[in-house]
Structure formats: C-alpha cells, structure tokens
C-alpha cells in the first residue's frame, strides 16, 4: 500500500527541493523520500524529535538501513523489484542467437499490436 500525504511547507523548502530537482536526476518525490529515509538515521533529526517525545512512549527505530536505497528511489520496493525483473527480461531478450542482437517488443495501444525484431 502506498501512503500519499499532502505536504505543506514553507516556500524556502519548496525552493530548496526545486533547486535539488534541477541539480540532480531525482524527481521531487524521490528528494522528499530521501529526506525522510535519511532523517531516521540523522542525529540532528533524532535530537529535535527527542525534544517532542512523549514521556511514556519510546521512539520507533527505522525498519530500514542506510543501504536500502530502493526504499527512497522507488515509490515502493515492489516497484523496484518489478523494474529490475523487466530489465533482466529485456537483457535476456536482447542477447539473441549466435551472438546476434535482436529486440522483441510488443506494443499494444488501442487494439493495434506491433512486433519489432
């Protein structure tokens, strides 16, 4: 299940995210997911959160590690695995016979089927 919150923030945050978007190959959602992903492992974030912690409730630990980059890169880890499988399939299909490279594509739009290769 995908959680899609509406985030409202100061214009300075918007400007910063827009500048990161222009300076990188990441989209805005990836930038915001990366910020949340890394915040859980940031001492600065945890120090601020600690100031607002309820006395009777322990702070949660993240269920991911800093090496789980697919978590912020893709909308969901399942999407990342699907993308990886499709890439593998495409790679196998382009290997061809006797070293020849061919590509098998089937495009289906509006009932028209086109097969190349």
Domain boundaries along the sequence of the chain: 11-116
Q: Which residue has the higher pLDDT, 111 or 31?
A: 31
Average pLDDT, integer, range 17-21: 95
Per-residue confidence band for 3, with pLDDT thresholds at 50, 70 and 90: confident
Task: Record the pTM.
Answer: 0.62
The predicted structure's pLDDT at residue 5: 78
The predicted structure's pLDDT at residue 59: 93
Q: Which residue has the higher pLDDT, 93 or 37?
A: 37
In order of 18, 19, 34, 35, the CA distances from 12 in angstroms are 10, 10, 18, 15
């Amino acid at each position: 299940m995908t959680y899609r919150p509406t985030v409202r923030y100061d214009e300075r945050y918007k400007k910063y995210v827009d500048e990161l978007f222009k300076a990188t190959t990441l989209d805005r959602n990836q930038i915001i997911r990366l910020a949340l992903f890394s915040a859980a492992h940031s001492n600065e974030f945890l120090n601020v959160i600690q100031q607002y912690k309820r006395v009777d409730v322990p702070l949660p630990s993240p269920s991911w590690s800093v090496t789980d980059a697919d978590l912020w890169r893709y909308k969901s880890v399942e999407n990342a695995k699907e993308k990886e499988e499709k890439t593998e399939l495409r790679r196998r299909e382009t290997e061809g016979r006797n070293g020849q490279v061919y590509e098998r594509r089937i495009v289906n739009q509006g009932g028209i089927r086109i097969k190349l290769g």
